[in-house]
Amino acid sequence: MSVDDAALMAEAIAEGDKARLHAPPNPWVGALVWRDGVVVAAGHTQVPGESHAEVEALRRAGERARGATMVVTLEPCCHVGRTGPCVEAILEAGVTRVVVGSLDPDPRVAGRGVAALRAAGVEVEVGVALEAVRAQLAPYLWHRVTGRPYVVLKVAATLDGAVAMSDGSSRWITSEAARRDAHLVRAQSQAIVVGANTVRLDDPTLTARLGDVTLEPLRVVLGTAPEGARVRPCWERQGDLGALLDELGEHDVVQVLVEGGAQVASAFVEAGLVNHVVWYVAPALAGARGPRAALATLSTPSIDALRRARFLDVRRVGEDVRMDLEV
């Protein structure tokens, strides 16, 4: 791997970010065509059924792709799905070297794309900026390996962990900037899970509002939503959370957002089903007692049983702080 490969992969990751909201259940891949010391074209995954990142980059590069290097965050596909195989497009374009961030665990690919390129005489480098690529594509990779969606738990609480006041009021604990940011987390998810009590108390719409655009993920209520609730139409489910995740995975949900309330959040943590936590902290104190605490029903019998996580990012959002943790 050269310094150029690592720097180019960082650019390809940034290009892939452009596809984050519209690509699922496909991966949000970024690709570059590089030759003579410059990036001559870039592309990212289009909506399902349309072209993949490699094809987009090659189309924009045209004849400049012949003899060039392609840098792509995920292994090119080699099977026919809703679109043709990217490996075939790369070979037809005359690319002579391909730099890959991560292999694709999808059983239809799983190293076959790289093998096909090498068999055709293309030089292939694999694993460039692997950690960064895997972090970006974590929900997709998890879904392809486990069959279940990647679970993101979102909490908005006071500094001492309260998600509601003594009278039950909770709007608004965090700032408008934090709430806007949370809508982006919603938009990145194909489904949102809440408890029936949250629906009864707050009557949320559970849409993702990004400026003038409103997205509607699948709404899942644990229990029964009241007739006329704004969350309808929705799934209403009870019972085993693992079975719910299996069902969502079968419906191409790559990432699911768990929004609450406290009992639902606690249940997902207790079951060991949370992959990622997005925790917004407001600079306020309320006294987190009983059902008003963010994880009110979670119990930890001893220090040895403490559920530890790893900080991925901590940053200021408006008046609040957003903490991202990998569980």
**87 neighbors 113 (Cβ within 8 angstroms):** yes
Backbone CA torsion sign across 161, 166, 171, 177: negative
Among 67, 53, 41, which Cα is nearest to 101's? 53
- Which distant-in-sequence residues (6+ apart) come within 8 Å of 7 by Cβ? none
Say if residues 41 and 32 touch (Cβ distance below 8 Å).
yes
* Complete edge-to-edge strand list for the sheet that includes strand 276-282: 235-237, 218-222, 191-195, 255-260, 150-158, 276-282, 320-326, 310-317
Q: 35, 153 in Cβ contact below 8 A?
A: no
Strand spans (E) along 66-175: 69-74, 97-102, 123-126, 150-158
From CA 293, how far away is CA 258, in angstroms rounded? Answer: 16
User: How many residues are recorded in the chain?
Assistant: 327
Catalytic positions: 54
| R_g (Cα) of the chain, nearest Å | 22
* Contact assessment for residue 101 and residue 24, using Cβ atoms and an 8 Å cutoff: no
